[in-house]
């Protein structure tokens, strides 16, 4: 394990350096009074120019989320939801802690080519690039960095972890599939990986936990951190679908062996499976690892309405996961309430909006807003789910 540093101790101290923390990425720091009043911070990077006709990862996704938040009274309201604005694109050095310099330059060239051709261009068979893609991807990563900065700043202002606001990046394009030197699966820059390295290098939060609940395995995030014992990566995903990685036997390599936990769930798994995975594997692993910050790759394509997979989560599932994630961050002594969530997948617009809104409600400790009758769904494969969870506990000694 990387030893704890003086910088980490500073992150646990009082209000000294709050503005410096929030300005470390060029973000506009929120005033201390706003940070102490907030219970949830969100930042929006909708990437309107990153769009290709007929593609599921489309520019309509973020407006659908914002519409749902507005419907449920969750945008910039007096009860603690605050929008973070004025943040900058992720700086090149922060991006290159994760991605090769040549890859970043190549993405810029691809955007320039798209501008010349006046159309989106294909990068890998599933990922496209437009004239604004490079700048849009950098801004999405910048949203994640700015939220980390402000959540860390808030954690220095309060001795009560439950008073530290969570962060949610309503950003696209997503990031958990792309590798250090290539795009993949709709993803251009590894937003959660960039946020993790930023937390480590700028705030001394050496031990980072990433929980990825997208229906597809976060292969890119796993590949970036598989050698790193200071980053605990846990992925719950549907077994046997794209990108054909994420088997339980994939546990990390070298110094990182044991710091990767995969939960490949059988098709038709849903609400009960996801909560069992959290309670029986995710939370115990976190208690043992004792992270300094919890990051969540929040994908919503495990919803029963989503066209790209075959799990049966519902909007209230994500309410429960959001609530559990915040409570876990509050209960972990080293984490001190620090939780930042980043949008990944989710391609049915109604399900996406309602599920993000319910995640907000869960983080806030408020009731779910989901009237769907779960009896209309197929029975979950409970025995198969338990086999997966037992195997994960056996492999990782949980």
H helical segments located in 45-132 = 61-71, 92-95, 101-117
Helix, strand, coil percent content, the chain, rounded in steps of 5:
40, 15, 45
Contact 267, 238 (CB under 8 A): yes
Distance of CA 74 to the CA centre of its chain: 19
Contact 166, 341 (CB under 8 A): yes
SS3 340: strand
Tell me if residue 203 is catalytic.
no
Tokens 């520019």, located at residue? 59
What is the spatial distance between Cα 212 and Cα 288, in angstroms, rounded to a whole number?
A: 18
Query: Beta strand 231-238 with 208-212: parallel, antiparallel or unpaired?
Result: parallel
Instruction: HSE, CB side, 13 Å, CA atoms: give it for residue 183.
Output: 24
What is the spatial distance between Cα 391 and Cα 384, in angstroms, rounded to a whole number?
A: 11
Q: Residues 99, 176, 177, 303: which is the catalytic one? A: 177
Measured CA to CA in angstroms, residue 116 lies from 110, 126, 130 at distances of 10, 21, 10
Contact 24, 149 (CB under 8 A): yes
Tokens 């893609």, located at residue? 133
Contact 180, 98 (CB under 8 A): yes
| Secondary structure (DSSP) of 18-45 | HHHHHHTTS--PPPHHHHHH-SEEEEEE
Handedness of CA 389, 391, 392, 396 (dihedral sign): positive
Query: Taking each helix axis from N to C terminus, what angle separates 101-117 and 133-155, rounded to the nearest 10 degrees?
Result: 130
The catalytic residue positions are: 177
């Amino acid at each position: 394990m990387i030893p704890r540093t003086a910088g980490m101790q500073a992150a646990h101290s009082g209000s000294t350096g709050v503005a410096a923390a929030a300005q470390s990425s060029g973000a506009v720091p929120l005033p201390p009074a706003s940070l102490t009043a907030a219970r949830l911070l969100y930042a929006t990077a909708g990437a309107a120019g990153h769009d290709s006709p007929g593609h599921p990862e489309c520019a309509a996704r973020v407006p659908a989320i914002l519409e749902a938040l507005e419907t449920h009274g969750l945008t910039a309201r007096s009860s603690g939801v605050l929008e973070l604005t004025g943040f900058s694109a992720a700086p090149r050095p922060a991006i290159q802690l994760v991605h090769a310099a040549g890859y970043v330059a190549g993405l810029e060239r691809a955007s320039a080519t798209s501008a010349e051709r006046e159309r989106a261009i294909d990068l890998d068979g599933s990922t496209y690039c437009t004239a604004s893609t490079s700048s849009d991807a950098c801004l999405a990563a910048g949203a994640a960095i700015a939220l980390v900065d402000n959540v860390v700043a808030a954690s220095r202002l309060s001795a009560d972890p439950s008073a530290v606001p969570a962060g949610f990046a309503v950003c696209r394009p997503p990031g958990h599939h792309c590798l250090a030197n290539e795009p993949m699966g709709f993803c251009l820059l590894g937003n959660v990986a960039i946020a993790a390295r930023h937390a480590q290098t700028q705030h001394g939060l050496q031990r980072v936990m990433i929980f990825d609940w997208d229906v597809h395995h976060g292969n890119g995030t796993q590949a970036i951190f598989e050698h790193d014992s200071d980053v605990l990566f846990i992925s719950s995903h549907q077994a046997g679908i794209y990108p054909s990685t994420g088997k339980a036997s994939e546990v990390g390599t070298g110094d990182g062996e044991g710091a990767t936990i995969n939960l490949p769930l059988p098709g038709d798994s849903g609400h009960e499976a996801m909560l069992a995975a959290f309670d029986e594997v995710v939370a115990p692993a976190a208690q043992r690892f004792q992270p300094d910050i919890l990051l969540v790759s929040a994908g919503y394509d495990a919803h029963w309405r989503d066209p790209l997979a075959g799990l049966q989560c519902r909007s209230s599932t994500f309410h429960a996961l959001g609530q559990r994630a915040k409570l876990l961050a509050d209960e972990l002594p080293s984490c001190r309430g620090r939780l930042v969530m980043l949008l990944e997948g989710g391609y049915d617009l109604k399900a996406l909006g309602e599920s993000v809104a319910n995640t907000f409600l869960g983080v806030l400790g408020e009731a779910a807003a989901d009237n769907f009758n779960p009896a209309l769904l197929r029975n979950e494969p409970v025995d198969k789910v338990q086999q997966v969870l037992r195997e994960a506990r056996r492999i990782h000694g949980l």
